[in-house]
Amino acid sequence: MAATILESLAIPCSRPGLSTSVTSGRSAAAPLATLSQFKGLRASPCRQIAVSARSTARSRSIRRRDVVCEVQGQEAALSVPDVTKSTWQSMVLESDLPVLVEFWASWCGPCKMIDPVVGKLSKEYEGKIRFYKINTDDNPDIATQYGIRSIPTMMIFKNGEKKDAVIGAVPEGTLVSCIDKFV
């Protein structure tokens, strides 16, 4: 049902890569696109904002509440591959390159905040360091083995050994300085 509702919305395109859908009160001059044109993008949680629109019949302002959903840009949708207990040895410990592993869970808000940053860095450091993520709910043995007590935790491995760890949703610069020590 949600997909049907989203597909029926018109989306004013203010600039490439970032679009906003407004349920009512949009200008007829705004360029429009449908959600189906944004393949591979994901919508962020909706929020309500106050919108002021001028009535063409009257010169006074009309205030109303509209629901607005943002579609995140392509760079935010970069996906980091998952690693599991069965692939841990071959993908992380036996890697010829350094590996950054993000320990996360689907219910974790800070994990969702850091995910686009890790995705962006995986593209920037492609060929120099590998990026993976592991769901701590699905793989508690690995999380326990490495002493994960808080998520998100980004851990760097080199030659099969844990070298460094960054805990929490930290700024991009913090992750970059940590990664640069090992590439």
Of 13, 69, 108, 178, the active-site residue reads 108
Catalytic residue flag (residue 46)? no
Of 13, 46, 69, 111, the active-site residue reads 111
Q: What CA–CA distance (Å, rounded) separates 55 from 12? A: 19
Secondary structure (3-state) at 50: strand
Catalytic residue flag (residue 108)? yes
What is the full DSSP assignment across 120-177? HHHHHTTTTSEEEEEETTT-HHHHHHTT--SSSEEEEEETTEEEEEEESS--HHHHHH
H-run or E-run covering 118: helix 109-124
Residues marked active site are found at 108, 111
